[in-house]
Amino acid sequence: MKVGIYARVSTQEQQTLPLQIKDLREFAKRRKWKIEIEISDVASGAKTRPKREELLKLARQRKIDCILVWRLDRFGRSLADLITTLDELNSLGVSLRWFNKSGEKTVFGKISKICGKNTMMKLSAKVCRRCLTDNR
């Protein structure tokens, strides 16, 4: 599997970028996945993240099969953005996986749990329903 690694911190003061990259490299190596690109980003609440967009462009070109992130909150700018991006990635056949110390997770179980919360009610029911239906 060809993967793109995306590591992000919100501020320069945060020191987890090297740890994120190390963990994600090791995770991919154990699975014999080929790392096509590694992107490190420093951005907090930005409307646009050019480095994230660079990774999404590779997904759209089908140059990667999976985006691997350290934690789910490192990838999405907001819950609505995350669901919209997941919908697009799913339509492209590109998966989004995240790593944590307890192991790998696919994003769809997490989104299913989130959908039960009030936060999800603020999102378009159509977008949420489509995302969950397409990814069961």
**Dist. CA 130–CA 136, nearest whole Å:** 10
| Position 130 confidence tier, pLDDT thresholds 50, 70, 90 | low
Task: Name which of 26, 109, 111 is nearest 68 in CA terms.
Answer: 26
- How is the chain split into domains, by residue range? 2-134
CATH number of this structure's domain 2-134: 3.40.50.1390
Give pLDDT tens digits for 80-117. Answer: 788 888 889 989 999 988 876 554 455 544 554 555 44
Q: How much helix, strand and coil, in percent to the nearest 5, is found in the chain?
A: 50, 25, 30
pLDDT tens-digit readout, 73-89: 778 767 778 888 888 99
The active-site residue, picked from 10, 44, 112, 124, is 10
Enter the pTM of the model. Answer: 0.72
Catalytic residue at 112? no
